[in-house]
Structure 1
């Protein structure tokens, strides 16, 4: 089976779309599939990482936005995230044609908020089946399968946006988590049997354009934490505030380490008593491991999922980065209570079991062309 992924990463987009596609690609490869990626070369792209995982990756130039093909420069409908693409949908499709024509994939998998049915229709001759990964339910698709791992959405949110025969996979039971999280789930849940507050893990995504990490470190200085507490910070190598955060870590009242581009996030989460982290795709990793979480919303598209987790009693929520200085001390006080820690862990573990990738691949296998 041949599979092509179309997803981007950048300082603006973040790394989550590409990372979850990589997770699915690695699982598909283990099943014998041949996987390829198409990504635009935005500042902060992850093409080198994709290639280091052994996948072929085709880079689209950020200067590739001319209209010499006669295609219109303006899109028929301006999508909310159209500026993420770096070209119009038709221009992007035009550059994808020779790649798809060469591979002729059995599955095209698209994880991009700036692409919709317009792009998909223009490329329909070059793939057999289409899987769309979405979180927004704000645009139309012509897909065979649609995956939205957001517990804040339901099937009816997509009824008018996909073909009648499209099969929907909605909810965190389909979350695309790496195998390590299912493997570590039992160990992590057993560890929550004696909750305490000794180790805090801060993870605001690979980019953290808003410097939520730096704001969090400053706010923690005002919190009542045990003298024996330690803090771990996880960041991406291309995070623009990495040097500033590393400097701030040396001035914390508690031992604070800054970890860059780690490959053992699951183990780091298992060892943490609480996580202060961004809403988004890592939310389901924390739920799988039952880690009590103080969640920070960093983008509008994270709101529905974050609010669903708040309603389920799975997180303490800070709705904006600017609220961290006032809201974090309150949340830390709440999590100093062992009962609250246990309740958050128990509710979180019910959200996601880490087996979503297998469910998605099973649906792909059962979908006829």
Structure 2
């Protein structure tokens, strides 16, 4: 039986996207017979999420690459493989993980490093196959390797069959596990007046600022706490408005028409590639798009039924039924060589 340690961090400041996709991959690896555990700098909410998914969790005092790989691994149980998911890692840190004797899998987004001294690179983004990774590691590239939570996989067929061709009634806003730029409030303000009578569910920490912003929507609108996964909310939604990271992919996987606003330049470039494939409506980069432009774009997205219908059709064809299992099988095959 293969033991696999996931090394990622998740706090309100860091965000929860890396952890969410690691849990999704760990779920699929567990179904394939692997024993998975987690180690990282986690706040209480993140540690609870790991344990709720059924995995052991070791909280570390500092994030990836603060002390070097050897010191970070000291005291942790020996493992056969390490899955690393962090923008803080560089090639020296990756090589250090491998020096422990473990096989190393790197979850990557932007091909930002000059070298990848590891056994496997997993990049599920639309642009990944065009990024010219260096020779050496096994490359798992593109949306067929999306790490989707089990509940998403289980609910996908129902979501695909759901009729979303008419007017939008239910809108899900899910920027991400953290919202340092205050995008949830900004999106709620820009959304007012764009569609009469819609019901909005915004996944965010409820604040005195957010609650009054629901007054322009239906009485069933609500601010929801952070979810274990988004399967139920995406099944409910006619359309989603997300940040530029993992959630836009989860929405597309569930064939829910999605508009995304990028929170950094890396997300912005990747979202543009996703938009060219017809899989997202690009709202632009948060730091540069003006509120008037944002409101106009949201109005176009919500009012254009043909655009959303075409998008949903492309989404159905862009993903395989169980990309997490596909990734897990490929990883286990690579590390067993």
- 1:34 and 2:3 are equivalent in the alignment: no
Equivalent of 1:189, from 148, 160, 167? 160
Equivalent of 1:158, from 133, 143, 154? 133
- 1:60 and 2:52 are equivalent in the alignment: no
Instruction: Please name the residue that 1:226 is paired with.
Output: 196
- Equivalent residues of 2:185, 2:210 under 8 A apart: no
Instruction: Please name the residue that 1:260 is paired with.
Output: 225
Q: Is the alpha carbon distance of 1:267 and 1:117 closer, same or farther for their aligned partners in structure 2, counting shifts above 3 Å?
A: same
Instruction: Please name the residue that 1:298 is paired with.
Output: 263
Q: For 1:150 and 1:129, how far apart are their aligned partners in 2?
A: 23
Q: For 2:330 and 2:177, how far apart are their aligned partners in 1?
A: 30
Q: Is the alpha carbon distance of 1:125 and 1:210 closer, same or farther for their aligned partners in structure 2, counting shifts above 3 Å?
A: same
**More deviation, 359-368/51-60:** 51-60
- Equivalent residues of 1:174, 1:356 under 8 A apart: yes
Give the length in aligned residue pairs.
Answer: 331
Instruction: Please name the residue that 1:145 is paired with.
Output: 120
Q: For 2:281 and 2:302, how far apart are their aligned partners in 1?
A: 9
Alpha-carbon distance, 1:182 to partner: 2.7
Q: For 2:101 and 2:172, how far apart are their aligned partners in 1?
A: 42
| Secondary structure of 1:10 counterpart | coil
Q: For 1:188 and 1:93, how far apart are their aligned partners in 2?
A: 42
- 1:358 and 2:334 are equivalent in the alignment: no
Q: Is the alpha carbon distance of 1:231 and 1:38 closer, same or farther for their aligned partners in structure 2, counting shifts above 3 Å?
A: same
Cα deviation per residue 1:227-253 (whole Å; 9 max; x = unaligned)? 3x2111112xxx5xx314542344334
Q: For 1:292 and 1:11, how far apart are their aligned partners in 2?
A: 27
Q: Is the alpha carbon distance of 1:12 and 1:264 closer, same or farther for their aligned partners in structure 2, counting shifts above 3 Å?
A: closer
Q: For 2:160 and 2:217, how far apart are their aligned partners in 1?
A: 29
Please tell me the root mean square deviation across aligned C-alpha atoms, in Å.
Answer: 2.2
Q: For 1:340 and 1:247, how far apart are their aligned partners in 2?
A: 31
- 1:210 and 2:181 are equivalent in the alignment: yes
Alpha-carbon distance, 1:51 to partner: 2.7
Cα deviation per residue 1:168-196 (whole Å; 9 max; x = unaligned)? 01111101001222322222222236432
- Equivalent residues of 2:211, 2:223 under 8 A apart: no
| Secondary structure of 2:231 counterpart | helix
| Secondary structure of 2:54 counterpart | coil
The normalised TM-score by structure 1 is: 0.82
- Equivalent residues of 2:200, 2:217 under 8 A apart: no
Alpha-carbon distance, 1:291 to partner: 1.0
**More deviation, 118-127/338-347:** 118-127
Alpha-carbon distance, 1:44 to partner: 7.5
- Equivalent residues of 2:85, 2:107 under 8 A apart: yes
Alignment of 1:49-88 (within 5 A): 49-62=49-62, 85=63, 88=66
Q: Unpaired segments of 5 or more residues in structure 1?
A: 63-84
Alpha-carbon distance, 1:207 to partner: 0.7
